[in-house]
Amino acid sequence: MGDTVLKIGGSSLASAEGFRQAAKVIRNDSKRRYIIVSAPGKRPKEDMKVTDLLRSLRSTQHPIDTMRAVKERFVEIAKGLEFEQDFVDFLAASLDEAEARFKKLRCETRFDYIESRGEYLSALMLAKVLGSDWQCIDATKLIRFSISGQYDAIMTRRAFRRAKLSGNVVIPGYYGCDSRGRIHTFSRGGSDITGAVVAAMIGADLYENATDVPGVYVANPNMLVMTPTLIGRMSYSQMQEMAYRGANVLHYEAIYPVREARIPTRLFGLLTPNNLGTYIYPDDDKRAYSDHCITGITEKPGFTMFSITKPGMNADDQFTLKALSALSGYGLGYDHITTGLDTLDIIVPDDKIGDRREAIAQTIRDMCSADVNLTSEVGIVCVVGQDLGKSFVKVTHILNTLAVRGIEPIFYELGGSRTNLVIGVAQVRLRETVGAIYEYMFRNHL
């Protein structure tokens, strides 16, 4: 039997209790020999995630207070785990050293360096809890980035070959280093990516991802009155679509390495390890599909729609190109496009636009010689389902369900792969929209 790579999320490692539970789950299955950890997350309601604290060093006027808060978190967890005082002191001293090094460093990557310390110390602590037959291997020995900070799969493969890992290792997630030894982090939530990379590199049989939720819900529980059911199994394409469109349970870039290596992923709750959770399989694997027509529903707020109108626009074969290059001049792509004879609607996420909305609209007007209207506060709902494209009747029913509630889509479209229905609605109606679709699905056993 091959090995399992298990990644444990930060919310499950927010306290000494979480570390103990993690160790119990790891010991329960001897195949779990490669463990990837996040930095301690939020304890219910209180405090900040360690990564958020460290990240605040980018802007805070009080770096000393920040580092003190980080140290307190680690020391508290370490004491809760009843580590001997020497080890607690060692953890505190590591943070002092990191702070001193951070202050000395002049390069941009110093922020990545200090941010990576959350995962680094988390991994040291878990290895210590697991005992002497476990070792902690620093991610800088395995995960490689280019000088400009892009993940480098070729160099990572070489590093793995050189490291000749043999099981029972804990590896910090979220970061790696470039050829000059500088640390770079993945984007937020990136320990999921580390886990997937390790699974692919060692040729694992299974990639497990444990969090504080029992798996992937059919819809976001915060959007519903009733508790949604869990998705038992799904394909990588479906998971990727859901992750990209707002399901926060797995980083969508964590799908590429395992998908390519054809390694199934299991998402489960660290507190309920015996429940199956959600399994994700390659697209051409029969196990990926259940008889449910709808796999999941996701939602995301915070989009602006640029509606560009010009009579006879379709006669100008450069028109779309001009509109997109206007956006690209601002370093922007788009999330979604719909077209008509005289109109082109381009939907862009607000967090990328910032306060440049009007300037962008004006640039499009100038470059396209067209009218541009803005619709703000657009939300996008995505219904993911294997055969959605083939069951036009169901798509009609979904839209009808919204119509009878007076929810008027700003746009809707069956995605290119025919496995998703994307619906733009006023952001204030997102909750109602998700609720209505879930209820329809639930009532009709879809």
CB of 120 to ligand ASP, least distance (A): 11
- Residue number with CB closer to ligand ASP (13 or 326): 13
How far apart, in whole angstroms, are the C-alpha atoms of residue 382 and residue 385?
10
**List of residues 6+ apart from 145 with CB closer than 8 A:** 151, 152, 176, 177, 178, 184
CB of 60 to ligand ASP, least distance (A): 17
- Residue number with CB closer to ligand ASP (42 or 352): 42
- Residue number with CB closer to ligand ASP (253 or 335): 253
- Residue number with CB closer to ligand ASP (189 or 435): 189
How far apart, in whole angstroms, are the C-alpha atoms of residue 235 and residue 3?
22
- Cβ–Cβ < 8 Å for 300, 375: no
- Residue number with CB closer to ligand ASP (270 or 436): 270
- Residue number with CB closer to ligand ASP (188 or 262): 188
Contacts with ligand ASP by CB under 6 A lie at: 10, 38-39, 49, 51, 118, 173-174, 188-192
- Residue number with CB closer to ligand ASP (211 or 237): 211
CB of 10 to ligand ASP, least distance (A): 4
Q: Where are the alpha helices (DSSP H) in 305-356?
A: 319-328, 350-353
**List of residues 6+ apart from 165 with CB closer than 8 A:** 34, 137, 142, 202
CB of 186 to ligand ASP, least distance (A): 7
CB of 176 to ligand ASP, least distance (A): 13
The Cβ-side half-sphere exposure at 224, using a 13 Å CA radius, reads 20
What phi and psi values does residue 433 have, to the nearest 5 degrees? -65, -50
Residue 101: how many other CB atoms lie within 10 Å: 13
CB of 184 to ligand ASP, least distance (A): 13
CB of 189 to ligand ASP, least distance (A): 5
Question: Residue 94's closest CA among 112, 57, 67?
Answer: 67
Q: Where are the alpha helices (DSSP H) in 131-231?
A: 153-163, 191-202
For helices 85-104 and 110-130, the axis angle rounded to 10 degrees is 170
